[in-house]
Amino acid sequence: MTSSKPILLLVLLFLTLCATIVLATGMGFLEIAPLEVIKILWSQATDQTTGGMDPTFPFVVMEVRLPRILTAALVGGGLAVAGAVFQAILLNPLADPYTLGISSGAAFGASLAIVLSLFGIYVPAWLSIPVFAFLGAMATLIGVFSLAAPDNRLSSNTLILSGVIVAAILSAGIGFIKYLADEQVSVIIFWLMGSFVGRTWSDVLLTTAVILPGLLFILYFARDLNIMALGERTADTLGVETARVKKMLLLCASLITAICVSVSGIIGFIGLIIPHLLRLILGPDNRMLLPACFLGGAILLLGADTITRAWLPSEIPIGVLTSLIGGPFFCYIFRKKQLALSS
């Protein structure tokens, strides 16, 4: 039942996200104090000039750092929300965008875009990679759906199995492309590992335009998602159009995943760890959990990106970092849960 604790946590997460954005903007090769960052943001918002500080600061903040920081935050939030939605729909707390093969589809599309130039088809990479990643994700989604379609209730098992089958084929496909790519293979590998280097305002706009409306759409159905935890048959008898809600939210979450993968490459574990952690604190009620996941995912990925950007001597791919930290952490939680079950 509702209490004020979850709302307090949401406010806290929101404030933490704002603070993280300001702090992260100040960090890097050029150190900018948090207060100056706020001053720059304020002057940009109110269209004033900033007096009395290094003239390169506003440029670094507005053109270099902020686009990357906002993209990282949006992608983190988007992946976490998509993960939470997949988990709620598939009734499996361990599901995430990978389970349905969506991420593999996007990766396959991107690899294809990179290797196309080998065949003399030249499309600028900044355009072809996101577009192909997106198309790959969508094609995978359609493939998985049509494999599962004869089962018109879209049961979790059918969907997960279809996802696994399609993902297996796609990863073989990626392997083949890597083999073809020969010398360019390092470009593909780097992209597959995920990165926010060189993100621009157009990336921020693109992700915002998909993720925020997507989040609102998902929130509209948050209570239906709660009811669906009772199982499809019972949810149907409680007035939820289970199959329809499932289909719409899967599409929406896949769209969010596709956009995230297309601007950043593959970044694992955010969609798994954030919903899991927040569920431990907040409980499973999706009305609170989903907005909290967005904020929590944004904070975590922005934090991780800032570590590789500003702290580490040389930048390592963000996807590798999240998996290196996230994987063992997840093993720990999983193990603890198994032990609790057996005792």
328 near another protein (CB under 8 A): no
203's tokens: 């990336």
Q: Which is nearer to another protein, 59 or 220 (CB)?
A: 220
Q: Which two tokens stand for residue 189?
A: 């590998």
CA distance 148 to 298: 32
- Residue 230 touching another protein (CB under 8 A): yes
Residue 231 to residue 212: CA distance in whole angstroms: 28
Q: Is 236 in the site for another protein (CB under 8 A)?
A: yes
Is residue 314 a contact residue for another protein (CB under 8 A)?
no
Max CA-CA distance within the chain? 68
Q: Which is nearer to another protein, 150 or 328 (by Cβ)?
A: 150
Distance CA 296, CA 279 (A): 12
| Nearer residue to another protein within complex by CB, 90 or 141 | 90
Q: Which stretch binds another protein (CB under 8 A): 56-64, 162-170, 173-181, 223-231?
A: 223-231
Verify binding: residue 338, another protein, rule CB under 8 A: no
Q: Which one among 16, 43, 50, 92 touches another protein, defined by CB under 8 A?
A: 92
Q: Which stretch binds another protein (CB under 8 A): 28-36, 53-61, 180-188, 218-226?
A: 218-226
Among 238, 281, 324, 331, binds another protein (CB under 8 A): 238
Q: CA-to-CA distance for 173 and 186, rounded, in angstroms?
A: 17
User: Cα(58)–Cα(149) distance, rounded to whole angstroms?
Assistant: 53
Residue 234 binding another protein, by CB under 8 A: yes
CB of 241 to another protein, least distance (A): 6
Which two tokens mark 296?
């929590």
Candidate ranges 181-189, 200-208, 224-232, 304-312; the one touching another protein (CB under 8 A): 224-232
In 10 A of CB 150, how many CB atoms? 7
Written as one string, the DSSP assignment of 108-157 is HHHHHHHHHGGGT----HHHHHHHHHHHHHHHHHHHHHHHHTTSTT--HH
Interface with another protein includes 283 (CB under 8 A)? yes
x/- contact string, 29-68, with another protein (CB under 8 A)?
----------------------------------------
**Residue 195 exposed, middle or buried by CB count within 10 Å (0-12, 13-18, 19+):** buried
Nearer to another protein, 1 or 45 (CB): 1
The alpha-helical segments, DSSP class H, found in 265-316 are 270-282, 286-306
Minimum distance from residue 156 beta carbon to another protein (Å): 10
Over the window 250 to 279, marking each residue x when it contacts another protein by CB under 8 A and - when it does not, the resulting string is -----------------------------x
Buried b (16+ CB within 10 A) or exposed e, 153-189: ebbbebbbebbeebbeebeebbeebbeebeebbebbe
CA–CA separation, 172 and 178 (whole Å): 10
Q: Does 233 bind another protein (CB under 8 A)?
A: yes
Residues that bind another protein (CB under 8 A): 1-2, 88, 91-93, 220, 223, 226-227, 229-231, 233-234, 236-241, 279, 283-285
